[in-house]
Structure 1
C-alpha cells in the first residue's frame, strides 16, 4: 500500500480558481539607469506585474528572467508568462514520472506553486527562472556544482573545461585541489611539480575571460586546499599578495576598481579561497603543537611548523583581503548522510552546498516574513505546506534537468541533493521585536529551521514511498538515518522559553514522524536544506534581508516608478516598534528621526533596552562578529548543508579578532565561515558619509576646555635634563631594533628613540627622523592616543611575526612600536576603544584559553550543536561604527552593489557575484 503524498492538498488556492487572481496586476515600464553615467542600461515598457511588487523586483524580473530578444514578439513581458512556463513544465514532468496520484493533484500542485511565486512567498534559484521551459536551451536548473580534479594533466585541463561550461550556464562551481601534488614533490619523468597554486592561475584566467563574455553574471567559483597540503602557506597568501599589488598600483594611478581597466593584472580574483581544517589541526592550535604537512603522492612528512603559526597566517591573510575562509572538515563529514559514497571534499562557491564530488544542487528559498501575520503569529501550517511544495518541485527538477557533464548528471540523479532555505530572517526577528543577537532570536530561528528541514525530509520520505528512495540509499541507509537522528536530538537543545508553543511543538513533532517514515520508506533525497545568500531572488521577493543575514541598515534605497531613486526607512522598523508596544505618535517620531539622521541612536521616545532590536550588520548600532557566529551556530544543526554568510567586522578589527572568530566558529559547530573586514579590498567605494549633527551645548563646552588645555600647552614642554626612560628590544620579521622612551616625572612619554639594524641604511635614517618628529609632537601636547590612532595598522615591509608575547604580529615597524606604546602608556579602556589588547586580554574571552589545558576532541564533539541552548556568556565586544566603504559597482548597470552572504548583489538589477 502506497503512503499518501502528504502536503499536496490546497492551502492557498481553491479548486477551479485562478491563482493569478490572488493579486491585482498592472503594467509598468522597467528601466535601469547607470549610476555613473546616467545612461539607460536596460529598458522594457509595459511589463505586467502585481501592483504590490516594487520597481526593484520588476526590474530584476525583466532584465534577468524574461527570455527572448528585446523588441521582438518572442520577448516575455509578464510574470504570468514566466510562472506558467516554469510551473507547467514541472507539473508536466511530474505527471510523466508518477509524482501525482491523478490529474487533480497535478492541478493542485500547479496552482499552489504559481500562487507562491506571484505572491513572493518563495523563489527558485536563478537558473530555473531563465532556463526551465525555454525552448531550445539546456534545461539547467542548478546553481551550485562541486567538481573534482586528480593529479593528472588531463584531469586538470578537464577541470578548466567543466568550469567553463558551468559558468556559461550562469552557475558556479567549487573544487578541492588537495589531490594535486605539491611543488615540493617530484614528477614521474623527473623535475618538480608545479603545485596546485600554479594551476589556480590558469583557472582564474579562464574564469575571468568567460566572466567578460557572459551575459548573466560573473563566474562564481571556490577553490579549497587541505591544511596538511605542503603548499598550504603559498595558498593562504595568494590573494593577500595580489591585494598588496593592487594597492601599490592604485597608489601609482592605475584603475584598480572591481571593473577597472587595469584590474585584469591582479590574479586569483575570480574565486573564493578556503582552507579545509580538521579537528586534529584545531586541537594542535589550542595545544600549541607542531603540524605536519604530508606529501600527496607518498604521505611522507615533508615539513613541520607550529599549528598556531599556520592559523595566524590564515587570520593575517584574511585580515588583509578577506581570504581565505575556513571549512571544518571533521564537522562536515560528521554530518555526512552518505559516507560510503565517499567523503565530502568540496563545496559550491559560497560554501553552503557540501556533498559528493561531481554533484550539483538546485536551490529554492522561502520569504519568511510572508508567514508572519500582523499580530506576530507565524503561520506554521502555511510554512510547512510551502516546504512540501518546493521539495516536490525541486525533486521533479532533478530527474528532468540538463547537467553540464555526464558525471555530474549521474551523481545528481543518483543522490538527488536539494537545497531548500529561506530569506528575510533578519526582518522577521526585527518585526517580532527580537534582537538578532539574542537568545530569543537564536531560539526562534532554530525552531523555524528545524521545522523546515524536518518537514523537507518528511516530504522526501513520502516521495520515496511513491517514486522510490535515491539510488544510493540502500548502501548508506545507516548514515542517512544516523544524521536524521542527529537533527532530531538537537531539537531538545532549543530554548523553548523563547519560542511560541505552536512553533516549538511543530519543531519537535515533525522529527518523530520523519524518523518513523524514513525507517519505513527510505528517503528520496540525500540532502534537503541549506542557507544560500539569496541575493538576486531575495530582491525579487522584495526581502528586506537576504538569507540568514541581519539587516544591512535601517535606511534603504528604493527605485521609483518612472525612474529615479529615494531613500526611506526600512518598513520593518515601524512594525517592530508596534510589536514593542509603541503608540503611533512615538513610531512617527522615531521613524522621522531615522529618516533625517540616518541612525536610530538618539531617537526620541526610544527606550534604551530596545536598541539591540534595531542593530544591523553595518552602521553605528552594529552587531558584533560574535553575534553573527552565534546565529549561524543556532541553526546549523538543523541544516543538511551549510550556511552562506559573511561575518562582518569593522575596519578597526585586528588579526586576533579574526583568529578568534575562526576558532569560535569551529568550537560552536559551524561547517564553514568567511569573514569580511570592511575596506580590506581595493574597489570602487560606496560613498557613505557619516551623519553630521550640530554639536550640543555640552559638547561645545567640552571642546572649549580641550582647546584651552591645548593652548596652555602649545609651547614646548621640555623634559628634565635627568629623566627616567624605558628601553626594550624588538624584532619584526627579520628586522631587529631597540626603542627607548623618555618620560616626564609623572610618567608621561615625552620622547622616543628608535634604532634598527643595518645602521646607515635608508630605513635607519627614516626611523631617526620619524623619532624626532614624534618626540616633538609629544612635547607640544599631541596626545599619545592621536599617534596610536594614526599609526596603528600602517602597512609596509618589514612586517610579520614579532618576538613580543603581547603583540604576536605587526603590519610594519610603526604598527608594532605604537601598539607597544599603547600597551605601556594607555589604560585598558582607551586601548579597547582603539582595538588594541594584549594576548592575555584577548584570550581571556576565549572558551579555551590558549594557556590552559584544552578540552579533548571527545569533549568538543559532545558540545557540538549546543548553540541552541543558552550560549556561554561572551565578553562584550566594543566595535567602532562602520559602513560598507568598498562595495563594487554593478558591472551590468553601474549601480552600487551590497553584500549578500559571501557575495555582492545589485539592488537595482539583481546582478550577483555569487551563485544564487
Structure 2
C-alpha cells in the first residue's frame, strides 16, 4: 500500500488492533482485509460463498488503493467484538426524568460502540420553569447539555476518542440567548457542538428588523419577544468567538425528508451532513477525488469512467455494512433497517481542482462541481435502484417520496451525504471533504498530543516538478505566509495553489450550494475566516447561505480557539526539522 507517514501514524494510534498489553497486532493491510471480509459476508444473505469472496476482494482493492474509505467506526469495529459500523445517530430527548435518563444511557451505548450522536433539545422546558406543576426548578437545555457531556467524557468512542456530540435548539426557545452564549461564557462543555435551528420566517424577520415570539415547549405559551436581528447578531458573535453555534435551516431540512410518514426531522447527526429521524443511523463513506483525474494528449480531466466504476461498489459496500452492523440496541436497529440510509460523498475535491489547474475560487470550479455532482448523484441513484432490483426496496418504501406510479424501487431512503472526513482524509493523504485546502503546509495536532507536519502532496509534486520546492518556501508557508505572497512560487501557480485563507468565504458557500443541489441529505462544511474577520462578516455569510439554499452552515475564525487541530505560525516551525533531515524521505 502507498500510505504516507501521517497516515500510518494515524492508523497506528486510532484504528489498528492491539492486544491486551497495548501491542499492535495488525498492519494496515490486515485492517482493510478485516473490514472487507466482514462487510462482504453480507453477500451470503443474497448470494453464494463465491460471490462473498469476490466482493471481499473488490472491497479490499478499492480501500487499499485509497479510492474509497468508510467512516471511522467501520475501520475500527468491523470483525471485532463491538461491531458497530455506523458513525452517526440521532436520539430524541424527552422532557422528563425517565426520558432524559434513558437517552443518556442510549447515548453512552452508542459512544461506547464508536458512534456520534445528535440531539434536539426542542422539547426541554426552559430553566426555572415549573416542575410537577408548582416548583420552578427546571434546569433547562444548557445545564442538560453538561449532563450529556459528562457521560461522553466518561465514554471514549470505541476506546479511541471522546464522544462526538451536537445539540440543537429552536431559535424560538425561551433559553435561546443562554444557549447561543454557552460556548463563549464557558457554561457548555467544549466537546459538544451547538446549533441553532432557524426557520425561513425568522430569517425574514431578521431582514425586516422585526421581533419574534419565544414559546415554552412545555405548554406552547408565548413567554416574550426578542429582536430577530439582535439574536441573529448574537449568533454570529458566538461563531466569531468560538466557532459555535452553527446554523440549521430547519424548514429546508424538513422538506428533504424521504419518509415523512415515519416522522419529521428535528436535527442532524453531529457533523451536520446526515439528516436522521429519532433513532435512525447511517453508514457513511467517501470517494477520493484526487485519484479521479486522468491525463491524455488534451491535458488533465475528470476521470468519469473510473468514478463510474467505483460508485456502484461503494454503494454496495455501504448497503452491505447495514446488514452486518451490530447495533447497540433494538430501536436503533429497527430504524436503520427500515430506511437503510447510507451516505456516500467525496474527499479530495480541492486537490482534484489543483490537478485540473483550476482555482477553487473561480466560475470554472463551480462548473466542474456542477458537472461532477450531476453525474455522481445520478450514478448513485441508479446504483441504489439496481440493488433494489436484486434485494428489494427499503422496508419503509410504501408511503415514501419514491412511492408513486412512475417511481422505481430504491434500496436506500437517502444516499448522498457530505461530511468533513477528518481522519479518513489523512489516511487517503488528500484534502478534507469539499473544503478548500486549509494550508499547503501545516501542523496537525492529533491524539495524545502528537504534532504531524503535513505538506500537501499535490503542492509538493507541482513544486518539485517546476523547480521551486525548497526548505525556505516550506518554512514561509508553515509560518502562515500566503502562497499568493511567496515570490518563489511562479505567478501561474499562485491562484491554483490558493488556500482557505486566500479564498473569500462567499466562494465556499457558492461551492457548497452547488453540491447541495444534488445532495438528498446535507453538505457539512465549516467556512474558515481570517483572524481579522468581523462579526458582520459572519452574519452576512449566514444570510447569504440562506439565499443560496444551503441547509446548514458553520463558521470558524482563525485562532478563535486555544487549541486547533490544524495550525500554522512560528510556533509550528520546530516540527519541520525531521522532514528536511531526511527522516521522512
Q: If the length of structure 2 is used for normalisation, what is the TM-score?
A: 0.89
Does structure 2 retain, via aligned residues, the 8 Å contact 1:176–1:224?
yes
Partner of 1:553: 439
- Three-state SS of the structure 1 residue aligned to 2:411 is coil
Partner of 1:195: 140
- Going from structure 1 to structure 2, the CA distance change for 1:199 and 1:627 (only over 3 Å counts) comes to same
- Three-state SS of the structure 2 residue aligned to 1:175 is strand
Distance in 2 (alpha carbons) for counterparts of 1:171 and 1:182? 29
2:540 corresponds to 1:616 = no
2:165 aligned to which of 198, 218, 221: 221
Distance in 2 (alpha carbons) for counterparts of 1:149 and 1:684? 31
Partner of 1:573: 459
> How big is the shift at 1:93?
1.8
> How big is the shift at 1:609?
6.3
In structure 1, the gaps of 5 or more residues are 1-49, 243-265, 483-517, 579-583, 691-884, 888-894, 897-916
In structure 2, the gaps of 5 or more residues are 577-585
2:528 aligned to which of 633, 648, 654: 648
Q: Deviations over 1:732-762 (max 9, x none)?
A: xxxxxxxxxxxxxxxxxxxxxxxxxxxxxxx
Partner of 1:480: 402
Within a 5 Å distance, the mapping from 1:230-629 to structure 2 comes to: 230-242=174-186, 267-374=188-295, 375-476=299-400, 479-480=401-402, 519=406, 521-543=408-430, 545-555=431-441, 570-573=456-459, 587-589=466-468, 594-595=473-474, 597-598=476-477, 599-603=482-486, 608=491, 611-618=494-501, 622-629=502-509
2:562 corresponds to 1:682 = yes
Does structure 2 retain, via aligned residues, the 8 Å contact 1:422–1:531?
yes
> How big is the shift at 1:65?
2.2
- Three-state SS of the structure 1 residue aligned to 2:402 is helix
Does structure 2 retain, via aligned residues, the 8 Å contact 1:465–1:521?
no
- Going from structure 1 to structure 2, the CA distance change for 1:86 and 1:292 (only over 3 Å counts) comes to same
Within a 5 Å distance, the mapping from 1:748-897 to structure 2 comes to: none
2:146 corresponds to 1:210 = no
> How big is the shift at 1:571?
3.3
> How big is the shift at 1:110?
2.3
2:86 corresponds to 1:142 = yes
Distance in 2 (alpha carbons) for counterparts of 1:186 and 1:460? 50
Does structure 2 retain, via aligned residues, the 8 Å contact 1:132–1:140?
yes
- Three-state SS of the structure 1 residue aligned to 2:467 is helix
Distance in 1 (alpha carbons) for counterparts of 2:451 and 2:527? 29
Does structure 1 retain, via aligned residues, the 8 Å contact 2:370–2:514?
yes
- Going from structure 1 to structure 2, the CA distance change for 1:205 and 1:568 (only over 3 Å counts) comes to closer
Does structure 2 retain, via aligned residues, the 8 Å contact 1:590–1:604?
no
Does structure 2 retain, via aligned residues, the 8 Å contact 1:431–1:575?
no
Distance in 1 (alpha carbons) for counterparts of 2:313 and 2:60? 11
Distance in 2 (alpha carbons) for counterparts of 1:601 and 1:88? 47
Does structure 1 retain, via aligned residues, the 8 Å contact 2:484–2:498?
no
Does structure 1 retain, via aligned residues, the 8 Å contact 2:89–2:276?
no
Distance in 2 (alpha carbons) for counterparts of 1:637 and 1:226? 25
Q: Deviations over 1:801-855 (max 9, x none)?
A: xxxxxxxxxxxxxxxxxxxxxxxxxxxxxxxxxxxxxxxxxxxxxxxxxxxxxxx
In our comparison, the structure showing a higher alpha carbon Rg is 1
Distance in 2 (alpha carbons) for counterparts of 1:552 and 1:367? 17
> How big is the shift at 1:215?
2.8
2:4 aligned to which of 54, 58, 75: 54
1:132 aligned to which of 48, 63, 78: 78
Q: Deviations over 1:206-254 (max 9, x none)?
A: 222324x973112110000011111111111111111xxxxxxxxxxxx
- Going from structure 1 to structure 2, the CA distance change for 1:403 and 1:79 (only over 3 Å counts) comes to same
Distance in 2 (alpha carbons) for counterparts of 1:358 and 1:665? 29
Distance in 2 (alpha carbons) for counterparts of 1:202 and 1:602? 48
- Going from structure 1 to structure 2, the CA distance change for 1:684 and 1:571 (only over 3 Å counts) comes to closer
CA-atom RMSD in angstroms: 2.9
Distance in 2 (alpha carbons) for counterparts of 1:600 and 1:682? 25
- Three-state SS of the structure 2 residue aligned to 1:373 is strand
> How big is the shift at 1:62?
2.8
Does structure 1 retain, via aligned residues, the 8 Å contact 2:6–2:454?
no
Does structure 2 retain, via aligned residues, the 8 Å contact 1:424–1:548?
yes
Distance in 2 (alpha carbons) for counterparts of 1:687 and 1:79? 27
Does structure 2 retain, via aligned residues, the 8 Å contact 1:462–1:521?
no
1:183 aligned to which of 122, 127, 132: 127
> How big is the shift at 1:298?
2.5
- Three-state SS of the structure 1 residue aligned to 2:268 is coil
2:581 corresponds to 1:635 = no
> How big is the shift at 1:138?
2.4
Distance in 2 (alpha carbons) for counterparts of 1:439 and 1:275? 31
- Going from structure 1 to structure 2, the CA distance change for 1:267 and 1:181 (only over 3 Å counts) comes to closer
Does structure 1 retain, via aligned residues, the 8 Å contact 2:385–2:408?
yes
> How big is the shift at 1:686?
7.8
2:4 corresponds to 1:82 = no
1:671 aligned to which of 551, 556, 575: 551
Distance in 2 (alpha carbons) for counterparts of 1:184 and 1:607? 63
Partner of 1:867: none
Partner of 1:802: none
Aligned length: 562
Distance in 1 (alpha carbons) for counterparts of 2:114 and 2:160? 6
- Three-state SS of the structure 1 residue aligned to 2:301 is coil
Does structure 2 retain, via aligned residues, the 8 Å contact 1:430–1:576?
no
- Going from structure 1 to structure 2, the CA distance change for 1:240 and 1:75 (only over 3 Å counts) comes to closer
> How big is the shift at 1:417?
0.8
> How big is the shift at 1:591?
6.3
